[in-house]
Amino acid sequence: MDKVGIIGGTGYTGSELSRILCTHPEVELAALTSRQNAGKKVSDVQTFLKGYSDIRFTEKISDTKGLDIVFVATPHGVAMEEVPQLIESGIKVIDLSGDYRLHNTSDYSKWYGHEHTDPKNLKKAVYGLPELFRDKIKGADLVANPGCYATSITLACAPLIKAGVVENDIIADAKSGTSGAGMVPSPRLHHPFCGESIIPYSVGTHRHTPEVEMAIEKFSKTGVNVTMVPQLLPIVRGILSSCYMNLKKDMTDGEIEKIFVKQYGKEPFVHYVKEPSIRAVVGSNHAHVSSNVIGGKVVAFGVLDNLVKGASGQAVQCMNLMLGKKETIGLEAPGLGV
């Protein structure tokens, strides 16, 4: 039984990790950190874990010995302070922040606004999108878990870019539920402001933009230019990304579908469907991809739960691969549907 710890156990991604891991049959959820809640029972703070966990929050992850793997579920800038000592101690790490996604320190500084202090491990980190980089994730010591928008857009576009049937300019119209913004309250997330509305934000400046470009280039060996327009939906969970690309030649819906089926037909969590649905995947590690040809263009859709396949579920999927376990174990549940 592998022992698992979580740094940042009270945020949305840390809480979702706890929910998934507490019933995982082959790991023990042994440690969660929270400076504010240190010493308190986890189930008294995260009451949805009543009956599933009796451990207490600790202030530091080093307070728990014998950990095999640690998830870092903190805001960016924190992980790079924690990861070096964990790696040096022989503990595998999955970082759910953006600290290890961009392998170029100058790109990190440009998009995140401060210097990266761990360039050594930054170069070693494996990008944790299993459907595209499974072989590299297996046995890795450090995995950078992808962002939620980046996962939905990359899954939708990468097969078409690799197949060489579309031009390299992508316009991504991406809509997300409010949980993607994290737990810290803000005027934009105040219900009277965001309820019954759709709000564009971070247009042209969202940090998942260079991440998508990097991931697609790694997979297809072809560079792309992404124009990303994120928008806030008045729902809690879910992302729907509509990605517009110009076709290099006339193609039918059936021909495009064959490209997706070739890429994802045997995948346990990514499914090509005719009509993608947020409700079909919410609460699960499943994602939908779909497409429609419109004249000389194709629109490709990527749909997922931003807290599961877009964050914590995908991290557990990576953990399973890193530890040599069955990739789907602990994640074999369908979406809610309603």
pLDDT bin (cut points 50, 70, 90) of residue 12 is very high
Q: What is the mean pLDDT of residues 86-101?
A: 97
Q: What is the mean pLDDT of residues 69-74?
A: 97
Residue 189 has pLDDT above 80, yes or no: no
Residue 188 has pLDDT above 80, yes or no: no
Residue 296 has pLDDT above 80, yes or no: yes
Q: What phi and psi values does residue 316 have, to the nearest 5 degrees?
A: -70, -40
Q: Residue 179: its pLDDT value, please? A: 87
Q: How far apart are CA 141 and CA 161, in angstroms?
A: 29
> By CB neighbour count within 10 A (0-12 exposed, 13-18 middle, 19+ buried), where does 268 fall?
middle
Amino acid identity, position 72: V
Q: Residue 84: its pLDDT value, please? A: 97
How do beta strands 239-246 and 169-176 pair? antiparallel
| Domain positions in the chain | 2-124, 148-307
CATH of 148-307, one of 3.40.1360.10, 3.30.360.10, 3.40.50.1820, 3.40.50.300: 3.30.360.10
Q: Which residues does 88 contact at the CB level (< 8 Å), separation at least 6?
A: none
β-partners of residue 5 are: 31, 70
Q: How far apart are CA 308 and CA 179, in angstroms?
A: 11
Q: How far apart are CA 146 and CA 317, in angstroms?
A: 12
Average pLDDT over the chain reads 95
Whether 67 contacts 61, CB under 8 Å = yes
Q: Residue 202: its pLDDT value, please? A: 87
Residue 182 has pLDDT above 90, yes or no: no
Place of tokens 């095999």: 68
Give 207-249 pLDDT, tens digit per residue.
Answer: 999 999 999 999 999 999 999 999 999 999 999 999 999 999 9
Amino acid identity, position 171: I
Q: Residue 191: its pLDDT value, please? A: 83
Q: Residue 307: its pLDDT value, please? A: 97
Instruction: Report the CATH superfamily, name and number, of domain 2-124.
Output: NAD(P)-binding Rossmann-like Domain (3.40.50.720)
pLDDT bin (cut points 50, 70, 90) of residue 105 is very high
Give 268-289 pLDDT, tens digit per residue.
Answer: 999 999 999 999 999 999 999 9
Catalytic residue among 148, 157, 243, 318: 148
Q: How far is CA 104 from CA 15, 72, 93, 122, 140, in A?
A: 30, 20, 20, 8, 19
- Against a cut of 0.75, is the pTM above it? yes
Q: How far apart are CA 228 and CA 282, in angstroms?
A: 23
End-to-end CA distance of the chain: 35
Sign, CA dihedral 256-257-259-264, equals positive
Q: Residue 180: its pLDDT value, please? A: 80
Q: Residue 187: its pLDDT value, please? A: 79
Kindly state the tokens that stand for 58.
């600790």
Residue 184 has pLDDT above 80, yes or no: no
Whether 176 contacts 230, CB under 8 Å = yes
Q: Which residues does 325 contact at the CB level (< 8 Å), separation at least 6?
A: 26, 319
DSSP letters along 161-218, please? HHHT-B-SEEEEEEEE-GGGG-SS--GGGSHHHHTT--EE-STTT-THHHHHHHHHHH
Whether 151 contacts 144, CB under 8 Å = no
- Annotated catalytic residue 148: yes
Q: How far apart are CA 269 and CA 308, in angstroms?
A: 11
Whether 7 contacts 82, CB under 8 Å = yes
Counted residue by residue, the chain has a size of 338
Whether 36 contacts 10, CB under 8 Å = yes
Q: Residue 181: its pLDDT value, please? A: 74
**Among residues 313, 319, 334, which one has the least CA distance to residue 26?**
319
CA quadruple 313, 140, 126, 271: dihedral, nearest 10: -40
Residue 292 has pLDDT above 90, yes or no: yes
How do beta strands 199-200 and 225-232 pair? antiparallel
Q: How far apart are CA 96 and CA 79, in angstroms?
A: 9
Place of tokens 């698992």: 4
Q: What is the mean pLDDT of residues 160-173?
A: 98
Residue 73 is classified by DSSP as -
Q: Residue 190: its pLDDT value, please? A: 80
